[in-house]
Amino acid sequence: MVVAVGAVLVILRPWTEEFRHGGLTISAPPAPVKPFPQVAPAPPGATAPSSPGLSAALAKVATAPDLGAFSASVTDADTRTVVWSTDPDKPMVPASTAKVLTTAAALLMLPPDHRVTTRVVTGADPSELVLVGGGDPTLTAQADGKGYYPGGPRLADLVTQIRAAGRPFDSVAVDTSAYPGPTAPAGWDPADIAGGSWAPIESVMIDGGRLDPLVEYSPRSATPALDTGRRLAAELGLDPGKVRIDKAPAQAREIAHVQSAPLRDRLRDMMIHSDDVLAEAIAREIAATGGGEASFAGAAAATGTALTAAGFDTTGLTLLDASGLSTDDRVPPRLLDRILAEAAGPQSGVSTTSASDTGGTVSPLAPMLDYLPVAGATGSLADRFTTRDHVGAGWVRAKTGTLSVSSALAGYVLDSDGRVLTFALMSNDRPPEASRPALDAIAATLRNCGCS
């Protein structure tokens, strides 16, 4: 007997769900979730950390060999009590954490809406224009007005005002006399001009002297003020080759002017992106406000004076600049931590001469907290706490500092008990590729610490 077995052929057509998904069941899309972002204050009843608890938690990470010469201070912001430290009075190379001092002095001495003016006036020859630098490196020549610095003034606006004057001009000079003295201090490496860290500090620049105006570490100009004058001449149809450095005559008639963004915005940009040129310009604003010389020496002296007058102990402080680029700068971590604790504390004992005085209910330094980069998210901390020490990402906010001989981190963090801790962590004599991860491990430990 022969049994015939028939086979049934099933054809999956390409327009069927089975063909496209290999027979898998397709689930319905999840219900949409609406986010409700909010910023909540630290809980008022959070348990304070104890010094023994912190010491135990930090015992391993704070003794890592990659820290080299290490000094640090950690403070409970609510009580302004130092809860852990090691060599806190030792003057250390701060690198860019020196910008914490510059920001503090600016908040103490200047109103938050303070602006810097760049002017164009008539020269000794009525047919000559003089571009008078007032100390603003944020001018932009971008066609759309959107340069490196958000809200920076536009060269095009100067051109428009000059043309509206209805007078013929045939040449341009640049007055840089607002900034006397050298354009770089001891300890700055000239190779960093081409490396994109700084331009010679002159009283007027386009996009901080960047040759590529929208790139953070673009090579910089060695003659930023002269380049600005040449660009102005070119925009006016004049010969850039005739532009020279010269001082405006007394009682010169103003033809045009533009103003910088408010101080609050420039401080934010300076801190988040660790902008060295912007830091030096802001420090000279501080010096000029106090009647001092708008030079490296004058700016450093004005910063120290402002901090001392506010009640900070500046013993051990040596500043040759405002940005921290100089390897000859020295700052004890105690001072950085104390400034941050005053900013983060519930009330202020800090004295201020600026128009932002809050009457003692909120620290005049409090805005600094919003200027600090966020770990794993913004500015100079965007690429840190991402491949290790993830617990600190989004919680640590701090100013970074990096030189070949120094790495530092100064900021604050909410610990796992809900307590705000400020800190200044400073490592010298180790390469940054070794010391920065070691500093991040300490900051992450502070975040993860329930050290009551």
- Residues 380, 80 contacting (CB under 8 angstroms): no
Compute the CA torsion angle 92, 276, 196, 269 (nearest 10 deg): 120
Cα distance between residue 34 and residue 316, in whole Å: 52
Q: Mind giving me the DSSP string for 311-336? A: T---TT-B-S-SSS--TT-BB-HHHH
Residues recognised as catalytic: 96, 99, 274
Tell me the two tokens of residue 280: 């030096």
Tell me the two tokens of residue 16: 């069927």
Cα distance between residue 37 and residue 44, in whole Å: 21
- Point out which residues pair with 93 in neighbouring strands: none
Cα distance between residue 206 and residue 135, in whole Å: 11
Tell me the two tokens of residue 361: 């209910």
Residues near 219 by beta carbon (within 8 Å), at least 6 away in sequence: 193, 194, 195, 196, 210, 211, 212
- Residues 423, 409 contacting (CB under 8 angstroms): yes
- Residues 102, 279 contacting (CB under 8 angstroms): yes
Cα distance between residue 175 and residue 232, in whole Å: 13
Distances, alpha carbon 348 to alpha carbons 311, 365, 391, in Å? 11, 9, 30
- Residues 401, 97 contacting (CB under 8 angstroms): yes
Cα distance between residue 432 and residue 185, in whole Å: 23
